[in-house]
Chains A and B, each alone.
Chain A
Amino acid sequence: MDLKDKLISSFMAFENNVDVEHPVHDIRSEAIKNFETKGFPSKREEAWKYTSLNNLQKIDFSIFPKQENTLEYKDVKRYFLHEIDTYKIVFIDGIYSSFLSETTHDGVDICLMSSALTKPMYKQIIDVYFNKVASKDESLTTLNTAFSREGAYIYIPKNKMPKKPVEILNFATGNEASLMLQPRNLVIVEENAEVQIIERHQSLTTNEVLTNSVTEIFAAESAIVDYYKIQNDAASASLIDNTYINQKGKSNVNVHTFSFGGKLTRNNLNFYQNGEYMDSTMKGVTILGEKQHVDHHTLVHHIEPNCESHQDYKGIYGENSTGVFNGKIIVDKIAQKTNAFQQNNNILVSDKATINTKPQLEIFADDVKCSHGCTIGQLDEDALFYLQSRGIPKKEARALLMYAFANNVLESVRIPELKGRINKLIAKKLGVNLGFDL
């Protein structure tokens, strides 16, 4: 049985474990119908031209873990931002781990989607927000919607800010030979409220894992959201990340994506600007080697006037790795005075590495500033010689130049300990022992 059929037949088993009378279940039922019609995207579709899911579909993934698995904190501590205190929402093979988590209801809700989807006290919010910005049409998103049951639920009321950042961690133990996970996150940040979130998916063995994640973010007027995605997963782990953001006036949403690992990673990052005077920022650093593949697909839809969007993605591709950047900007006819910037710069450090980069601008307004630029190059030999002539060995000099190349993306990371961590990850990825406190 292929993966699509397996998923569709698993839906009935799934229904035995959820409340089918709940209004959310109507949404799930609609969603599975859409997935049944569309199936997995193929390379024939323009948006999937450079990323093939064929090989993944041949793997016999378990759709649900057979048992509840546990982990010791000391064994996974290094994946947490343990240098500082954080709220933690932790899942082990898709199942919530209360032991590893630290949630709160103290003025803000940082807890579980499963509670939000079942408890009456959340019903009103779920009615207003659940599946309201996520696509009802894109097949992988609807697949996630169909199986939506667990994930992180974050609700920050008006004028509030949680005392510390929130970490969302999804561990895969490898107790299943191959496991598919479908976390579903909902983040609501009300007027003038603020939150910082760090998301990470981590497989702990070499067993296959496929994660098809959907995150919906709602930023109300003047809200500030900083979202950091750390993608440094095992070589047998694949991730399809579907993030949908609905922003209102004067809000500020920044998404940083650090892609250093994993087998296949696809980031679908979608911003919808429903208001004026807001700012949307997407930044990414991608450093790949081996046969890793990362595909960044961004969309910014400027729906109203006087807004800005900034995109800055840097990629360093080595060995046989492949990368894709596709940045789509839509400026509606009424969205005058839009400022939309997009940059994608890449360095190929191997003859066998590939990058496909494509800006896609659809501008219907006439008084806008939109710029885009993409570059693909090698390291500057003169700069390399300059550093070497000062006594810095070639390998370290190359690393330093690559670090410098990616550095301006790190400047906007607002949690210093996280920045320190990412610096270390970059040094490790580049194979050098340089303290990048540059």
Chain B
Amino acid sequence: MLKINNLHAQVEDKEILRGINLEVKAGEVHAIMGPNGSGKSTLASVIAGKEEFEVTEGSVELDGEDLEEVAPEERAHKGVFLSFQYPVEIPGVSVTNFMKTAINESRKARGLEDMPAKDMLKMIREKSELLEIDRKFLSRSLNEGFSGGEKKRNEIFQMAMLEPKVAILDETDSGLDIDALRIVANGVNKLKSKENAVIVITHYQRLLDYIVPDFVHVLHNGKIVKSGGKELAMELEEKGYDWIKNEAVV
């Protein structure tokens, strides 16, 4: 489904990703772990198409199509979703209307009519219940004055609405208390299917107790230095990242 080949990316002449190889198949959950500054968030942004990052070598392919020339919104239409580490506050645009606009723009791109208002409301109701989101919350301005937990829950709500093929969760666990973490993880698990894939970016093992990965990759210095099963995450939790860093140097 998603294939990353020898990906190199830089921002303002500073190379951050130095040759990443990763293949994610439908139905899989991958976790990407690694110390601060290892390039995790950059990788997420590059997959979603942020223009600030320049891909200097390698490629990102979705279902065999090279995404290099594909704009962020078109990637979204094709099924890429990024749950932001720091969702942007947009005063003056309500959550509901933002979602309506996003869904109808995606439909327009696929040559479909706007979703009938009745269906839209039904979908919003179902998905907000899944994430235990209060209806009042939906009429508030997007992310404005939301707590950390509310922001993350809202990100997964958007994921539920947009039904992506590949969802990248960039540190979705940061800023969440244990109850919010459970709700968010539960939401992600319910959205998971044989047809889609999830990439979980995290520092800690904690989230992986709830969203159990098939594969764990350790990113260091812009490269995947170690891959393994879910037991690798436990090992990292226990020993920290230093032994990996040392191993990488060797």
Residues of A close to B106: CB separation below 8 A? 391
Q: How many A-B residue pairs have CB under 8 A?
A: 82
Determine if B71 and A404 form an interchain contact, defined as CB atoms under 8 angstroms apart. Answer: no
Name the A residues within 8 Å of B98 (CB-CB). 390
Chain A residues with Cβ under 8 A from B80's Cβ?
389
* Residues of chain B lying within 8 A (CB to CB) of residue A204: none
Within 8 A of B (CB), among A379-398: 380-383, 385-394, 396-397
Contact B76 A391 (CB under 8 A): yes
Interface size class of A (residues with CB under 8 A): 20 to 34
Question: Once the chains are docked, how many angstroms separate the CA of A142 from the CA of B162?
Answer: 61
Complex: chain B residue closest to A410, CB-CB? B92
CB distance from A126 to the nearest CB of B (A): 44
Residues of B within 8 A of A381 (CB): 52
Contact, CB under 8 Å: A438 / B91: no
Encode contact with A along B29-49: 1 for CB under 8 Å, 0 otherwise.
Answer: 000000000000000000011
Q: How far is the CB of B87 from chain A (nearest CB, A)?
A: 7
Judging by beta carbons under 8 Å apart, are B71 and A388 in contact? yes
Q: Is the C-beta of B189 less than 8 angstroms from some C-beta in chain A?
A: no
- CB-based contact B88/A438 at 8 Å: no
Least Cβ–Cβ distance between A241 and chain B, in angstroms:
27
Q: Is B123 an interface residue (CB 8 A)?
A: no
Convert A427-438 into 0s and 1s, putting 1 for each residue whose CB lies closer than 8 angstroms to a CB of B: 000000010011
* Bound complex: CA A248 to CA B179 (Å): 56
Taking the closest CB of chain A, its distance from the CB of B139, in whole angstroms, is 10
In the complex, the answer to whether A389 meets B48 with C-beta atoms within 8 Å is yes
Given contacts A381-B52, A386-B84, A438-B97, whether A392 and B92 have CB atoms under 8 Å apart is no
Residues of B within 8 A of A388 (CB): 49, 71-73, 76
- Is residue A108 contacting chain B, with contact meaning CB distance below 8 A? no
A413 → chain B closest CB, angstroms? 14
Residues on A with beta carbons closer than 8 Å to the beta carbon of B72: 385, 388-389
- B82: CB under 8 A from chain A? yes
> Residues of A contacting B76 with CB < 8 Å?
388-391
| Residue on B nearest A395 in the bound complex, by CB | B73
- In the assembled complex, the Cα of A391 lies from the Cα of B94 at a distance in Å of 16
B92 pairs with A438, CB closer than 8 A: yes
B150 partner residues in chain A, CB cutoff 8 A: none
Q: A388-B71, A390-B76 are in contact. List 16 more A-B contacts (CB 8 A).
A: A381-B52, A385-B50, A388-B72, A388-B76, A389-B49, A389-B73, A390-B98, A393-B109, A394-B73, A396-B101, A397-B73, A407-B92, A408-B92, A434-B101, A437-B97, A438-B97
A selection of 11 A-B contacts at a CB cut-off of 8 Å is A380-B88, A383-B88, A386-B84, A388-B71, A389-B73, A389-B76, A390-B73, A392-B73, A400-B93, A403-B93, A438-B94
